[in-house]
Structure 1
């Protein structure tokens, strides 16, 4: 490890609870030492005006008991020298802070911003590009934005733009504003600590990427805006309807989806049986026949890994259960390696087990456990002579992407030094196997910003190494409008010049014992006459 990292802390007499947790974690990093407290005057609010009365009431009644509640400064700061920020640059310089953590107003003099060699850092609750200086989360919800951003910034002052050191995006739907803040802000609690560790290990110089911010500051809402916000029902969690999933085949390579206006002429399989879903398809070809492995799920039981062998005329043979155990199974990732077809499914077992397709192509045989921890949507692939494993944290399945790497498919597997390498509901969770196009690596990623399984982002990977990861969005595919499964696109998986697609639609009511839909009239006009669903009842095996 390098020499100690000296911290200056800039704050008022209290911190917001989420800020205090961020400071606590930074102070707990080995080799970090606080050396000075830089005080700022409390911001005078002026005489409260009637035009913001509803906002003041809302803050007092709804927000001040949670993550925004004021708390006392940590005990570790009690014995440190205190210097007022205004006009005392020379005195601050004598303490030689390497970093200043700013928890107050960010309009600072340039000589103070330039003083620490690793910069002045500040947490920003909200997307700093679109909502600089905003009330956390309010304007995003008021404007019906699907996501709320949070960032750790290195301040630039008048000498240049602020720079983003860490950033995350989280879904706004399904939350009240207090619940949204309770959900989002704790995710940023370890960012200062992570960046301190990266500096001490030599992995980072805290340079970040330049921020292009809007020049429009969003201030506190007026009474009319608050009335609109409250009447719109933002305080209530909306009901999320149940959906069913099905598999479609696009008879074109996945690389065609990178073009400006790709064909989305997907041919869907007959609908699953009532209360069932076909999810997360992956494929391989045996004897010139397409084999699709997928998660077969009903409304009550665990998912199992099943196989279908569709034909171009959409005629289905019976599905075959390839793997079933006491755990919930999902997302079978298919890998062809050394003449074998290997499968890595997601599992609720708390580990990742690798399987192979047996010689008869009738079951999956256990090979070995490759990782003694769980991952959602585990995606295994080889690139530049190294094996890579992508997946998301089970506790944060839509937002926190983790990477592992190994020289061999059977391990040992090492975690990426930046885990989680990104926190973004728009492109974290894997949604298919990565692929190469014109020498560049791409990966399908789930865009869950408008709900789980809404669309798939095709991401161009710019950097991938054991210590770095960077990617950018190229295209967003789905939902595929005008099709029977037009409410979401959850998967894009390449296989032998084709692309497997997972599509979603609202789940139809389940039939009652006499063939009628439950909670419906007995009149014949309410009956489910879907021929594709009747066909499916014949094709599915009876397990």
Structure 2
């Protein structure tokens, strides 16, 4: 992660691209965790035919050779952004699920296969791409507001708590940013040069166009002061997937990214038409 930030991009670094997904589906929002020498990558698997996101886990050995893949979490509502992390001797997942009307923290049972709701996090409204981190003895949560379409891309909010399960207190400066160029979390927070940094999505022009690094120049329960870096875009070797870079997620010596392309063939409109005909 630090190398990418220092270089200002991914071009020239060793990359291992996963095979393309089948038609009408994609993987996005990768988060990783090493366990017993195995890299577990959790990601959203989205199918355009039912417009539903589910969480899958892809496992790789130490040489990054694929081992297996399976669905590990599905709900009646759309799931994405499976933020996976370790804390208090447990493994947790905080997926994006604002359409459910709540933000649910899951605890791993039989990792990585089984997840059970541990608590519901209550905030100052719906939360999109909520990203937890520790800072100066407290838990913090960065998230975009789910209030409306623009807020989901532009209004960055914070909350803090003494315990991961809460209760959570909304930051008095919310929204701490209202900017399409950096108002929605997009990966794992990290510390560089003694400052806390958060990857955020640059949604100017198109959704998921690039990632920027948001630096907290000051962060405490009273004040949140930030500065933002230049966009980090999809690298040249991403081929036809160069229309956006949506996530920057650290996992030890490995950094996970997702890149995108836009299908302009019109097949998506055909899927929508078929869905509407079935619904009618």
TM range (shorter): 0.7 to 0.9
Q: In the alignment, does 2:100 pair up with 1:349?
A: yes
Maintained 8 Å contact 1:404/1:415: yes
Measure, in 1, the Cα distance between the counterparts of 2:161 and 2:34.
27
Maintained 8 Å contact 2:190/2:198: yes
1:398 alignment partner in structure 2: 153
Which digits, 9 at most, give the CA deviation of each residue in 1:435-485, with x for residues without a partner? 011321111010111211000001211011122111112342113223222
Q: In the alignment, does 2:123 pair up with 1:368?
A: no
Maintained 8 Å contact 1:446/1:455: yes
Which structure's relative contact order is higher, taking Cα pairs within 8 Å and 6+ residues apart?
2
- Structure with higher helix content: 1
Pair 336,300 (structure 1): closer, same or farther in 2 beyond 3 Å: same
2:262 alignment partner in structure 1: 506
Q: In the alignment, does 2:82 pair up with 1:327?
A: no
Q: In the alignment, does 2:164 pair up with 1:413?
A: no
Measure, in 1, the Cα distance between the counterparts of 2:238 and 2:212.
19
1:486 alignment partner in structure 2: 242
Please, which runs of 5 or more residues in structure 1 have no aligned partner? 1-253, 512-517, 519-543
Measure, in 2, the Cα distance between the counterparts of 1:358 and 1:277.
27
1:386 alignment partner in structure 2: 138
Please, which runs of 5 or more residues in structure 2 have no aligned partner? 271-280
**Which secondary structure does the structure 2 equivalent of 1:397 belong to?**
helix
Measure, in 2, the Cα distance between the counterparts of 1:475 and 1:374.
28
1:458 alignment partner in structure 2: 213
2:251 alignment partner in structure 1: 495
Measure, in 1, the Cα distance between the counterparts of 2:96 and 2:129.
6
Deviation at 1:361, TM superposition (A): 2.2
Q: In the alignment, does 2:26 pair up with 1:277?
A: yes
**Which secondary structure does the structure 2 equivalent of 1:503 belong to?**
strand
How many residues get paired? Answer: 259
Deviation at 1:276, TM superposition (A): 0.5
Maintained 8 Å contact 2:39/2:62: no
**Which secondary structure does the structure 2 equivalent of 1:482 belong to?**
helix
**Which secondary structure does the structure 1 equivalent of 2:4 belong to?**
helix
Measure, in 1, the Cα distance between the counterparts of 2:229 and 2:262.
29
Measure, in 1, the Cα distance between the counterparts of 2:66 and 2:21.
11
**Which secondary structure does the structure 2 equivalent of 1:477 belong to?**
coil
Which digits, 9 at most, give the CA deviation of each residue in 1:299-336, with x for residues without a partner? 03210111111357765444211111111111111121
Measure, in 2, the Cα distance between the counterparts of 1:357 and 1:500.
21
Which digits, 9 at most, give the CA deviation of each residue in 1:343-369, with x for residues without a partner? 101102111110122234212121111
* TM-score relative to the length of structure 2: 0.86
Q: In the alignment, does 2:86 pair up with 1:340?
A: no
- Which contiguous aligned blocks of 4+ residues in structure 1 show a shift greater than 4 angstroms? 311-315, 508-511
2:41 alignment partner in structure 1: 292
2:275 alignment partner in structure 1: none
1:255 alignment partner in structure 2: 2
Measure, in 2, the Cα distance between the counterparts of 1:288 and 1:316.
13
Which digits, 9 at most, give the CA deviation of each residue in 1:476-510, with x for residues without a partner? 21132232221110000111121110110133859
Larger Rg: 1
- Structure with higher strand content: 2
Measure, in 2, the Cα distance between the counterparts of 1:313 and 1:359.
24
Measure, in 2, the Cα distance between the counterparts of 1:489 and 1:352.
25
Which digits, 9 at most, give the CA deviation of each residue in 1:77-129, with x for residues without a partner? xxxxxxxxxxxxxxxxxxxxxxxxxxxxxxxxxxxxxxxxxxxxxxxxxxxxx
Maintained 8 Å contact 2:90/2:108: yes
Measure, in 1, the Cα distance between the counterparts of 2:169 and 2:40.
32
Measure, in 1, the Cα distance between the counterparts of 2:111 and 2:185.
30
